[in-house]
Amino acid sequence: MNAFSAKSLNLRVRKEIMKILLQFPEGLKKLAFEEAGRLEKEGHEVFVSSAECFGACDLALEEAKAVGAKKIIHWGHSDFGVKSRIPVEYREYPIQIDAEKISAMVLPKLSKFKKIGLLTTVQHVGQLDELRQELERAGKTVLVGKGVRTRYPGQVLGCDFGAAKSIEAKVDCFVYFGGGLFHALADVGKPLLRADPFSGKVGWMDEELAKARSRRKGAMNALAVAKKVGILVSTKIGQKNTRGALVIKKELEEVGKICLLLVANKLEFNGLANFGSFDCFVNTACPRISDDTELAGKPVINLQDARVVARMLVKK
């Protein structure tokens, strides 16, 4: 290699060195020291977002802009399709589980069902085929659907149960495998069995889903009689729906409601209480915010349901 070539190579290497912002969900923040240290050894200048992260819809763009980061490395989620001027590298962080163990957990509960739909999170999508094969060996017919915003077949998000909806008419029930309740609270129109490979718990979600339906119905009734309505608008890049907020404000005002548009990056219900007496909130951001009725102290209704209520009130 001549001197000119060596100089050119060094210039290319220097160009690859950059400011990087690392972003982790709560369960993976423990990786921050290791990952930052690895990148710093390569010569990069590394910043870590300390804010809460609620998903791939919640990219730390403001932090990245503020520190001049040229790239965000976002851990724990798959690409959500968000368009960003700052490049985003997704690190999905798969977690291996024992598919044979999951099969043994769920099969005793599936004796009355022949056609099974499988659902899971991005951490476990790589093992969908293993579990499918285990269930098929036991005589089950297994189907896997695909959501709208999800990257992989069988993957569900808090805001996208399309993997279930796309095959709902073809299955007798669904099996969700993964940790926690959040992603298992999918109102999919068929019985839903949750299997947690970490706690070893397995059970039908009937009671939890019935509570969610009751909460939803109660929120719709509350909006119907409400006088003052707070309309929640998020500035998060994957949750912002300003147009939807303006539309529902107009529709509710036309049926006599007093509405206030409330904008924030992270919605804090304690702060909202200081505005005065809202009778309920309409949520135009992440649909799972409606789960937080207890924190809000008032009913929280999602945009789609709010528009149904507004149309019903017009007809009266």
The CATH code of the domain that includes 58 is 3.40.50.11840
Average pLDDT in the 41-45 region?
96
Residue 269 — pLDDT band, cuts 50, 70, 90? confident
pLDDT of amino acid 28: 96
Domain termination residue (choose one: 204, 230, 251): 204
Residue 142 and residue 113 share a domain: yes
Say whether both 152 and 193 belong to one domain.
Answer: yes
Co-location of 130 and 183 in the same domain: yes
Within a domain: 186: yes
Q: Indicate whether 282 pLDDT > 70.
A: yes
Average pLDDT, the chain: 92
Say whether both 220 and 195 belong to one domain: no
DSSP states of 66-108 as a string? HHT-SEEEEESS-------SS-EEEE-------HHHHHHHHGG
190 in any annotated domain = yes
Taking a C-beta distance cutoff of 8 angstroms, is the pair 301, 223 a contact?
yes
Contacts of 118 (CB under 8 A, 6+ apart): 128, 131, 132, 135, 142, 143, 144, 154, 174, 175, 177
C-alpha span between 300 and 229 (Å, rounded): 10
Cα distances (Å, whole numbers) of residue 213 to 135, 185, 220, 290, 291 = 30, 11, 11, 11, 11
Residue-number span of the structural domain to which 160 is assigned:
99-204
Task: Kindly report the backbone phi and psi dihedral angles of residue 77, in degrees, each rounded to the nearest multiple of 5, phi listed first.
Answer: -135, 160
DSSP 8-state assignment for residue 52: -
Mean per-residue pLDDT for 193-221?
A: 94
Q: Give the Cα separation of 269 and 294 in Å (integer).
A: 10
In a shared domain, residues 113 and 196: yes
Query: Is residue 8 predicted with pLDDT exceeding 80?
Result: no
Provide the token pair at 284. 């135009």
Q: Model confidence over 96-130: pLDDT tens digits?
A: 999 999 999 999 999 999 999 999 999 999 999 99
Q: In this structure, are 243 and 308 located in the same domain?
A: yes
Q: How many domains does the chain have?
A: 3
Does some domain include residue 9?
Answer: no
Length of the chain: 316
**6 pLDDT higher than 60:** no
Q: In the predicted model, is pLDDT for residue 2 greater than 60?
A: no
Determine the average pLDDT of the residues in 248-268. Answer: 95
The answer to whether residue 136 is domain-embedded is yes
What integer is the mean pLDDT of 170-191? Answer: 91
8 A C-beta contact, residue 115 and residue 172:
yes
What's the pLDDT at 222? 96
> Of 183, 204, 225, which closes a domain?
204
Residue 54 has pLDDT above 60, yes or no: yes
Phi, psi (degrees; rounded to nearest 5) at 68: 75, 25
70 and 128 in a single domain? The answer is no
In a domain, 12, yes or no: no
pLDDT at 200 over 90: yes
Listed residues 146, 180, 204: the one ending a domain: 204
Residue 314, exposed/middle/buried by CB under 10 A (0-12, 13-18, 19+)? Answer: exposed
1 inside domain: no
pLDDT at 4: 46
> Quick one: pLDDT band at residue 138, thresholds 50, 70, 90?
very high
Cα 279 to Cα 287: distance, rounded to the nearest angstrom: 19
What pLDDT sits at residue 10?
A: 53
Q: What is the mean pLDDT of residues 188-214?
A: 93
Q: Which residue has the higher pLDDT, 176 or 82?
A: 176
Asked if the structure places residue 5 within a domain, the reply is no
113 and 50 part of one domain: no
- Band of pLDDT at residue 294, cut at 50, 70 and 90: confident
Distance of CA 33 to the CA centre of its chain: 25
H or E element in which residue 132 lies: helix 128-137
Q: Which residues pair with 192 in a beta bridge?
A: 174
Are 242 and 305 in a shared domain?
Answer: yes
Question: Residue 287 is part of a domain; what is its CATH number?
Answer: 3.40.50.11860
Task: Please write the tens of the pLDDT for every residue from 150-173.
Answer: 999 999 998 899 999 999 999 999
Question: At residue 176, does pLDDT exceed 80?
Answer: yes
H or E element, residue 264: strand 258-264
- Position 12 pLDDT exceeds 90: no
pLDDT band at 14 (very low <50, low <70, confident <90, very high): low
> What is the per-residue pLDDT for 316?
66
Residue 2 lies in a domain: no
